[in-house]
Structure 1
């Protein structure tokens, strides 16, 4: 599936190439007190929290939309307490503040954008009242570049002050923040590591985009890139370590995908209690083509959770009609993460 024509944003010597945790869910956590001996005369009470597995299983079955193939729901370890999924549906606005062509997040003024996002959240909440719907700002923090740059990596790391701005926008509406990475000629491990101080915040999560991972040395945008399971596992390992080190609730990892080759060896992607993985159908076109892509690369190669991307402009070209929340809720499995560009 094709994505939008790649936007070129001229900066000095560079070209852009690109198209909170909300607290513990009270109804999903049970407390169990245990008494352990720390020293001969000292008793310490330790609380071990576990999720309500019956409730979790019920919600995962509902997301599978009565799939009869055995693919869905995917068998994975239970998440740590406080997991966002499947208890919430995330509605995210995607983009970059340097460009009005990379997504709705940078296209509209802040107040107008926030109001529009809240309107989408309300629509989704009305369609599926059984799952709480929450907003998110999905910000491209590292962008692929047409030019090699000083280090010849064909990627540019956004200034931290931009990430700080996104965090300040998210706070008043209690939104999650996703930091998205386009590695260019770099790699997942090196790029995710630069964002660890932000990923250590409870409301900040991660997105990685195989489209701009140019393992063959091509210029980003000249062909579709790829991630192997090993690349994705590097991100999972970093996130899991951040969760353990900072005693956080699980992180969400969004992996964009709209072709077979964008993700290889999907069966080897790690599933751990600290990280929840969303495979996001990230392509534009008419509804038949988008559904076909979802079935071919998301449904048939199950990982854990699914997402779906909607394009305000590119999904309505050529008299196409953008999917509605009601229509997407009929998909198997139901997407739990919705991204608007």
Structure 2
């Protein structure tokens, strides 16, 4: 880990900025100077230490959208484009200057998550690089990204997990974080098919948008199946393999009279998230 050790949880609570350079609408990480954003993130992460009963070391992370869904098919018909290696390298260097993680976010379009993960192997061999999967943008048939919500399955995620666990073992890497962003339960079908594997830690991030009340309702729907059950969290398979995460939207969550949730309000969720992302 960038700040010591080889395991993520329960020592750390990961706090991330998401985004893409030159695309302010896609998240805070893509706005302005990268080092200014990481300095800002460091201060924000410090507010997520938590209460005595669940005190953690905050670990900042940069969630770079490395595979971007698009409305056009592109030369290979996958409706996605991969950012250049120079962009990934710049974000990894910025993360390392702050002893932070780099997470490579995948919006796969019509490509498969596993194929896109394999294409990132060069970066995933690094000890401080993980993944974030965005199944809202995983579409099939004649659907184009953005026309309707996509989805994935626990079986698809388990294929990624198996490949990543083998990579971790082969290169003697510390634990890899994999976040799956879930706007609604229908976006992740049959999560029970995901197996627990050494070296891979999964987080299911509840990505509901809106008022504080609406976001809490979304949290309850997305995290309903087992997050409060200690036995489920230790089971070899099932929804308990997915630790809880939460996403906040710096623009959308502040529309009208709505105000974004504060760190104490986020930590008051039951259970407190292991991963908090700001877009």
Same fold, TM exceeding 0.5? yes
- Shift in Å at residue 21 of structure 1? 4.9
If asked which structure has higher relative contact order (CA below 8 Å, sep 6+), I would say: 1
Match of 2:142 among 207, 217, 229: 217
Structure with the greater alpha carbon radius of gyration: 1
Which aligned pairs between 1:260-275 and structure 2 lie closer than 5 A?
260-275=185-200
Report what 1:52 is aligned to: none
1:114 and 2:95 matched? no
Q: What is the deviation of 1:126?
A: 6.4
Instruction: Find the counterpart in structure 2 of residue 93 from structure 1.
Output: 17
Q: 2:60 aligns with which of 119, 132, 135?
A: 135
The equivalent of 1:173 in structure 2 is 98
SS in 2 for 1:141: strand
- Residue 323 of structure 1 and its aligned partner are, at CA, apart by 1.0
| Match 1:336 to one of 252, 274, 278 | 274
**Structure 2 CA distance, aligned partners of 1:198 and 1:22?**
19
Q: CA deviation at 1:127?
A: 5.6
How far does residue 98 in structure 1 lie from its aligned partner after superposition? Answer: 3.3
Matches within 5 A, 1:146-161: 146-161=71-86
Could you give the per-residue CA deviations for residues 151-189 of structure 1, whole angstroms, max 9, x where no partner exists?
A: 111000111110000011111110100001011011011
The answer to whether the aligner puts 1:319 opposite 2:257 as a matched pair is yes
Change (3 A) 1:21 1:243: farther
Aligned partner (choices 109, 114, 124) of residue 199 of structure 1: 124
Secondary structure of the residue aligned to 1:279 is strand
> Which residue number in structure 2 is paired with residue 277 of structure 1?
202
Residue 49 of structure 2 aligns with which residue? 125
The match for 1:184 is: 109
Task: Answer whether contact 2:23 2:31 (CA < 8 A) is retained.
Answer: yes
Residue 255, structure 1, aligned to residue 180, structure 2 = yes
Inter-partner Cα distance in structure 1 for 2:71 and 2:31: 21
Say which structure is richer in strand.
1
**1:299/1:333 contact within 8 Å kept:** no
Aligned with 2:245 (options 282, 307, 317): 307
- Structure that is richer in helix per residue: 2
Bigger Cα displacement from structure 2, 172-181 vs 106-115: 106-115
In structure 2, relative to structure 1, the CA distance for the partners of 1:310 and 1:170 (3 Å cut) is: same
Which range moved further: 293-302 or 129-138?
Answer: 293-302
- Tell me the distance in 2 between the aligned counterparts of 1:206 and 1:177: 8
TM-score, normalisation: structure 1: 0.75
CA contact (8 A) 1:21 1:84 kept: no
Contact 1:89 / 1:134 at 8 angstroms: preserved in 2?
yes
* Aligned residues of 2:168 and 2:199 also touching (Cα < 8 A): yes
Runs (5+) with no aligned partner, structure 2: 227-238
Preserved contact between residue 21 and residue 249 of structure 1 (Cα < 8 Å): no
Q: What SS class does the counterpart of residue 101 from structure 1 fall into? A: helix
Q: Within 5 Å, which residues of 2 pair with 1:237-256?
A: 237-256=162-181
| TM-score (normalised: structure 2) | 0.91
Change (3 A) 1:85 1:217: farther
Q: 1:126 to 1:275 in 2, by over 3 A?
A: closer
Query: What is the Cα-based RMSD across aligned positions, in Å?
Result: 1.5
